[in-house]
């Protein structure tokens, strides 16, 4: 049992955040030392989504994820058990596999041919007698913490007591269950989209409700004034009710009017667009026709990688295929609008004129996120960056 970090306990307490009415300061969105502190205190101890159970159906099937200076393999063993390991040979640190996915009955290092089983055990070493100190049983692949929720696999590099995805989403299990996540299959290949912005800029925008009627005309035409946000501990819940109107474009009106009924969903879910943002940098977009997960992985103080994948239950109805296409057309526009927004916000964060901005009481998700960051990295309360070396004190 991992003892939670005291900062995590403080987040879950009822302690008052004296800076609750203000945003995180601009310097925290581009400062190299703050970025390094976030990697250690936020990203490495947090859970990161990798793939769905259906992505690795057979023994030897694997998926990888690269983040925080590590590459992780999630692989199904010969015994059917799914495990996670760092993608690093124990001999000379060579990466064992390249690319986001594959299948390997054995993991053979391409440098010196050290061979590992799908359970991570070291099983073969050329010229083994030439290594007098080598013990095979002590040199298996380094394991990585692995959790599963609703058919999805998550890894954590340095567990420190953050709640697991299942724990974060426990209050919403009844709402999620009818969608049958665990039975879904890949709808479209994983997309990797680099962005020249701090990872928090992406997350803030995802949970921001005030910009919807201002900057997303299409989404606003689709859900009207029904868009709502809620902060629930480690999860943000966002939703909007889709309805047809004469002001909509062709694909917006088509989706709202012709999305076929999904019999296993309750009436209230048939035309609901539902979003869950999980701490700290991943989200599920849930529609009656499909679901997506999105993740924004930090790659530097002012860069990140968006990783997106779509899943759905098998449905060969022509109207469902058209609805999914309409969904993509609508969200393609929303994504383009968000890309423009976050690029300019990031530029503003790097202006010397910006310190912190006020947060409205209705911006509950931004308040919740900023509170967590300030608890984990107290220097985030400073309007300007402290002298170099502060994170080591």
Ordered per-residue pLDDT tens for the chain, 393 residues: 566 677 787 787 767 889 999 999 999 999 999 999 999 999 999 999 999 999 999 999 999 999 999 999 999 999 999 999 999 999 999 999 999 999 999 999 999 999 999 999 999 999 999 999 999 999 999 999 999 999 999 999 999 999 999 999 999 999 999 999 999 999 988 999 999 999 999 999 999 999 999 999 999 999 999 999 999 999 999 999 999 999 999 999 999 999 999 999 999 999 999 999 999 999 999 999 999 999 999 999 999 999 999 999 999 999 999 999 999 999 999 999 999 999 999 999 999 999 999 999 999 999 999 999 999 999 999 999 999 999 998
Q: Angle, nearest 10°, between helix axes 318-349 and 199-207?
A: 120
* CA distance linking residue 78 with residue 59, whole number of Å: 5
| Euclidean distance between the first and the last CA atom of the chain, given in angstroms as a whole number | 28
Q: What is the pLDDT of residue 393?
A: 82
* CA distance linking residue 32 with residue 36, whole number of Å: 6
Q: What is the pLDDT of residue 290?
A: 98
Residue 117 host element (H or E) = strand 115-117
- Residue found by looking up tokens 């921001």 in the block: 208
**Residue 371: C-alpha distances to residues 79, 140, 336, 359, 376 (Å):** 43, 40, 29, 12, 9
- Residue found by looking up tokens 């099983």 in the block: 123
Q: What is the pLDDT of residue 3?
A: 63
Q: Where are the alpha helices (DSSP H) in the chain?
A: 6-11, 32-38, 165-169, 173-176, 199-207, 212-215, 217-223, 250-258, 318-349, 364-376
Q: What is the pLDDT of residue 154?
A: 98
Q: What is the pLDDT of residue 312?
A: 98
Q: What is the pLDDT of residue 4?
A: 63
- Indicate the pTM of the whole model: 0.95
């Amino acid at each position: 049992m991992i003892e939670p970090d005291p900062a995590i306990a403080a987040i879950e307490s009822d302690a008052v955040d004296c800076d609750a009415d203000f945003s995180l300061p601009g310097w925290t969105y581009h400062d190299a030392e703050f970025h390094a502190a976030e990697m250690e205190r936020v990203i490495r101890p947090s859970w990161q989504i990798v793939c769905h159970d259906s992505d690795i159906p057979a023994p030897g099937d694997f998926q990888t994820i690269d983040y925080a200076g590590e590459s992780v393999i999630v692989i199904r063993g010969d015994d059917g058990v799914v495990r996670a390991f760092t993608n690093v040979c124990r001999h000379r640190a060579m990466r064992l596999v390249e690319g986001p996915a594959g299948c390997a009955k054995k993991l053979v290092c391409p440098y010196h041919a050290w061979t590992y089983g799908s359970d991570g055990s070291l099983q073969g070493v050329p010229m083994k007698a030439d290594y007098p100190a080598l013990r095979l049983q002590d040199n298996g692949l380094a394991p990585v913490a692995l959790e599963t929720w609703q058919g999805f696999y998550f890894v954590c590099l340095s567990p420190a007591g953050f709640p697991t995805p299942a724990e974060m989403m426990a209050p919403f299990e009844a709402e999620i269950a009818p969608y049958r996540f665990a039975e879904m299959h890949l709808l479209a290949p994983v997309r990797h989209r680099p962005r020249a912005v701090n990872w928090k800029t992406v997350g803030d925008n995802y949970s921001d409700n005030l910009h919807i009627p201002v900057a997303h005309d299409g989404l606003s035409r689709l859900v009207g004034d029904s868009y709502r946000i809620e902060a629930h501990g480690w999860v943000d819940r966002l939703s909007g009710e889709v309805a047809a109107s004469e002001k909509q474009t062709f694909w917006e009106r088509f989706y709202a009017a012709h999305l076929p009924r999904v019999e296993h969903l309750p009436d209230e879910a048939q035309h609901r667009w539902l979003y869950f943002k999980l701490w700290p940098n991943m989200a599920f977009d849930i529609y009656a026709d499909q679901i997506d997960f999105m993740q924004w992985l930090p790659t530097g103080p002012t860069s990140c990688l968006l990783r997106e994948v779509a899943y759905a239950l098998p449905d060969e109805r022509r109207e469902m295929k058209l609805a999914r296409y309409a969904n993509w057309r609508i969200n393609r526009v929303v994504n383009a609008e968000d890309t423009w927004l976050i690029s300019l916000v990031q530029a503003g964060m790097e202006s010397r004129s910006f310190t912190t901005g006020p947060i409205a009481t209705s911006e509950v998700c931004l308040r919740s996120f900023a509170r967590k960051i300030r608890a984990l990295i107290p220097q985030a309360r400073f309007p300007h960056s402290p002298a170099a070396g502060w994170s080591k004190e």
